[in-house]
Amino acid sequence: MSPRSESPNSASPRSAGYSHVAVMGDLVGSETVTSVTGLHAAFNEAIERLNDERRAEIASPLTVTLGDEFQGLCRSLSTGLSIIRTLRRRLLASRIDCRFVLGVVRLETPLNTDRAWNMMGPGLAGSREKLADKRDPNVYRFHLPDNPTIERLLEAVGLSISSVESAWTDRQVEIVAASLDHQGLHADLAARLGVSQRAFYKVRRAARLDFYESLWNAVEHAIGDLDRSYGFR
């Protein structure tokens, strides 16, 4: 997806004709890892697994571009957010750090359904610029040209989520990731992880998991409203 200059658009989100949502990401600190081969293999496996699982929801497959970056297109912000959450959780479980951008796009070239290359349209360049801003510590960035206030609010919440995640220990990452994937009783999960229920809940509290989930619930509700505003669903 090639960058393209974007002019200000005073139209409403629905009338602006946004057709897709860009999902982009890049690995953090990939140049300092001891095993680039292992990192690359794990990153590619995670991307391909999501492509297989979300085949019906992804318009242009998540595609690794520069070795430590990926991009793809889907048809709603909610789908894109779910992809980001899933990928983030799985990569953290493998001790891989990654940052993301979710942005609306008005595609003006044919959709490439084989790989996310060689497409152009307003929204792609802005999303790419957010991804290129490596100075920002926020893991979750958004590009919403017609909703600058909502964009800033979402990024503020994203920064809070990033702050919680950055404080997790390896043990907390393990239990949080397992908790978010598990649908059954906590007692069963604690037993599977080989910890007492008391230790299990202590780790969850230390990881601020309830607060973390409340932040994500706020983002998910806002994204659902935006989907309706943009006419994505």
> How are strands ordered across the β-sheet holding 140-143?
58-64, 69-74, 20-27, 98-105, 140-143
Is there a single domain that holds both residue 143 and residue 193?
no
pLDDT digits (tens, 9 = 90+) for 98-132: 999 999 999 999 999 999 999 999 999 999 999 99
Same domain, 174 and 142: no
Q: Evaluate whether residue 125 is within a structural domain.
A: yes
Q: How many residues does the chain have?
A: 233
Q: 169 by DSSP, 3-state: which?
A: coil
Residue 196 shares a structural domain with residue 102: no
- Residue 38: which CATH number? 3.30.70.1230
Q: How much is the average pLDDT of 197-205? A: 93
Give me the chain's average pLDDT, please.
89
pLDDT of 64 higher than 60: yes
Inside any domain, residue 233: no
Q: Which amino acid is at 109?
A: T
Query: Does residue 13 sit within a domain?
Result: no
Same domain, 177 and 120: no
Q: Are residues 141 and 196 in the same domain?
A: no
Is the residue at 27 inside a domain? yes
Helix (H, G, I), strand (E, B) or coil at 232: coil
pLDDT of residue 193 exceeding 60, the answer is yes
**What 3-state class would DSSP assign to 207?**
coil
Least confident range of 3-17, 49-63, 122-136, 197-211: 3-17
Together in a domain, 107 and 40: yes
Beta-carbon contacts of 88 under 8 Å, excluding residues fewer than 6 positions away, are 98, 100, 139
Domain membership flag for residue 226: no
Structural domain of residue 52, as residue ranges? 20-147
Q: Do 77 and 174 sit in the same domain of this protein?
A: no
Residue 13: what pLDDT?
A: 64
pLDDT, tens only, 141-188: 999 998 999 999 999 999 999 999 999 999 999 999 888 888 778 888
Q: 3-class DSSP state for residue 119? A: coil
Q: Give the residue-averaged pLDDT of 201-226.
A: 96
pLDDT at site 185: 83
Half-sphere exposure of 32 (CA within 13 A, CB side): 4
- Residue 2: pLDDT over 60: no
**What is the structure's pLDDT at 55?**
93
Residues 104 and 183 in one domain: no
Residues 112, 187 within the same domain: no
pLDDT computed for residue 35 by the predictor: 73
Q: Is residue 156 part of a domain?
A: no
Higher pLDDT, 67 or 180: 180
Burial of 227 (0-12, 13-18, 19+ CB in 10 A): buried
Residue 61: enclosing H or E segment and its boundaries? strand 58-64
pLDDT, residue 4, reads 42
Q: Is residue 228 part of a domain?
A: no
Count other Cβ atoms within 10 Å, centred on residue 62. 24
Considering the domain architecture, whether residues 89 and 33 belong to the same structural domain is answered as yes
Residue 217 lies in a domain: no
pLDDT of residue 32: 59
State the total domains in the chain.
2
- Same domain for 185 and 128, yes or no, is no
User: According to the model, what pLDDT value does residue 29 have?
Assistant: 72
What is the percent of the chain where pLDDT is above 70? 91
One domain, residues 121 and 83: yes
Q: Are 201 and 179 in contact (CB under 8 A)?
A: no
